[in-house]
Amino acid sequence: MPPTLTSQTSLLDYNTASISTLISSRGWQELPEFERIGAVYDYVRDEILFGYNRVDNIPASQVLRDGFGQCNTKGTLLMALLRAVGVPCRLRGFTIKKALQKGVVPPLVYPLAPDNILHSWVEVVFEGNWIALEGYILDRPFLTEIQSRFLPRGKQLCGYAVGTNQLDAPPVNWAGEDTYIQRTGINQTFGVFDTPDAFYQNHRQTLSPVQGWLYENIIRHWMNARVAKIRRGKRV
């Protein structure tokens, strides 16, 4: 296995004090491989809440400090934690359809959102096979609320940050197999990258300077407020 798949980078900054302390306090290093991967995965899925950071290319320590993230930022933290406990991993890049974010993006600004939204998932080596991990994006309370709202209409959903044909039982639990929650929203594939650093050197979200400023300073806070309301069972 190439050493680059376990190494630290500017974004995968797992030697920072906050990440080292977290790993030590949880005792993840002492677990067998299956349980080690699962414990890290569950932590990122449920204890780092679904939400929107200021940009995609922030280091893992910043995601941990924020306490929330989306596909790309939670993925960076997941990769850093996996590598820190000795599990090789890499990133696979995509874009997803704008429609997948409908309901989370406020209707007033939805027309301004890019048609294609940068997306990624993490791939981890387990028992000699590459396993795709995407089911970490949505924390359980948020996903449970989405299920309660939309399951009466059917098992397919592309919206509210969900892209699945299995809304009744989406494969989001670590069981040594692929996990997904936004897979049906994917519309373009960029391939595999050893690190998120390499991914963001080649691919960024397409926003004008004005769109970028609005997103970072206003829109994402609005989106996070809507996500929090959904998680609490409130209508948005």
Q: Which of 165, 154, 172, 167 is nearest to 50 (CA)?
A: 172
pLDDT of residue 6: 93
User: What pLDDT, on a 0 to 100 scale, did the predictor assign at position 208?
Assistant: 83
Q: For position 211, what pLDDT does the model report?
A: 87
**C-alpha distance across the termini of the chain, in Å:** 47
186 forms bridges with which residues in the sheet? 96
Residues with pLDDT less than 50, the chain: none
Candidates 23, 51, 41; CA nearest to 172 is: 41
pTM for the whole structure: 0.96
pLDDT of residue 17: 98
What pLDDT sits at residue 204?
A: 87
Domains of the chain: 3-231 (3.10.620)
